[in-house]
Amino acid sequence: MFVPAIQGQGTDEQQQKWLPLAYRMQIIGCYAQTELGHGSNVQGLETTATFDPKTDEFVIHSPTLTSSKWWPGGLGKISTHAVAYARLIIGGEDHGVHGFIVQLRSLDDHLPLPGITIGDIGMKFGNAAYNTMDNGVLRFDHVRIPRNQMLMRVSQVTREGKYVRSNVPRQLVYGTMVNVRQKIVADASVALSRAVCIATRYSAVRRQFGSHNGGLETQVIDYKTQQARLFPLLASAYAFRFVGGWLKWLYMDVTERLQANDFSTLPEAHACTAGLKSLTTTATADGIEECRKLCGGHGYLCSSGLPELFAVYVPACTYEGDNIVLLLQVARHLVKTVSQLDSGNKPVGTTAYMARVEQLMQYHSNVEKAEDWLKPNVVLEAFEARAARMSVACAQNLSKFANPEQ
């Protein structure tokens, strides 16, 4: 995330300076945002970056124990630099969280620089699972960096210490997360496919009950109960692969638009990647566990590959956005879409169906036989109607809390 952060939030000059160094591996960067005390609540980060007008520098400092950077991958042993997020303080005024490029280790002997304290946070869930990643802890003790190492595409600090906001929206910081989350969705298909492959092969080989006259017992995969648990996971693995490809296209489209200073599709891209990250990682983690159960006692053995796969994958439900928090962000996007309908704003992209909200609120299925549900348009319309009704109901309920009298 070090490189995408600079690409999305750095000026052209900053990109020209730092990206070649990263591409040539002359520096190794990490993304230091999460702190011991704050993860999902980015605006609650405590690390400070105070501008010193006398030296034209920022002073990066960890004022509390909970302000320690916690979890950045690659930080514990490897990284020489970080994009660190800190509260910008100018003349005693807090301008919120911004990104800063900070050197952590010497490029000569790899030792931490003065004022930098780094460590590995230790073993994680599972045996060898995720422990190849050197997730680290980082503290700053009044570390000074040049003013031009603040990522300044969205906002700038002048030599005189004046804070200037550009016309670029703050939502640009979502670009980094959009990139990471679309990759997580694609990875969900890979992990679930592995688990389903193991469970399917086991189900085909394993035989249990149903033997007549000394013949072969029935293959487990032929039991309806096994199929009802296994086959939906197989379908999900394919679906996640397709949606991962679509998200990659969406990210590339958004990136091209951002380069042309077109930010119109960024909010939707953020909502889509947030929602699908939550959906696919939760379903995949649950699916891997279900595959373990489908393999009976053998699935509990490390030799099955499933316990290790679960231990490696389950952190995806938490990192790069807690799944419940991400769903709330999607809900906020949908409620905002509903609230804008009265003002004449036409929904676009994945929420385009909201333009037919009045029709969808009156929707009644015309399905006459089970085979009708095999038609994609029938299923899609049912989902659109359900989504529209739930979004409108949620918006109406929330509006009651906005009224002081209620």
Q: Let me know: does 155 contact 98? Beta carbons within 8 Å.
A: yes
- Sign of the four-CA dihedral 362, 367, 370, 372: negative
Contact between residue 325 and residue 40 where contact means Cβ atoms under 8 Å apart: yes
Residue 2's CB: how many other CB atoms inside 10 A? 23
CB 329 within 8 A of CB 174: no
Told to judge if 405 belongs to the known catalytic residues of this protein, a careful annotator would answer no
* CB atoms closer than 10 angstroms to residue 22: 15
In the block, tokens 């000059």 appear at: 13
Contact 360, 351 (CB under 8 A): no
Nearest C-alpha neighbor of 264 from the set 330, 341, 356, 171? 171
Write phi, then psi, for 69 (nearest 5 degrees): -65, 135
25, burial (CB in 10 Å: exposed 0-12, middle 13-18, buried 19+): exposed
- The one catalytic residue in 217, 320, 358, 371 is 320
Please list the active-site residues.
Answer: 320
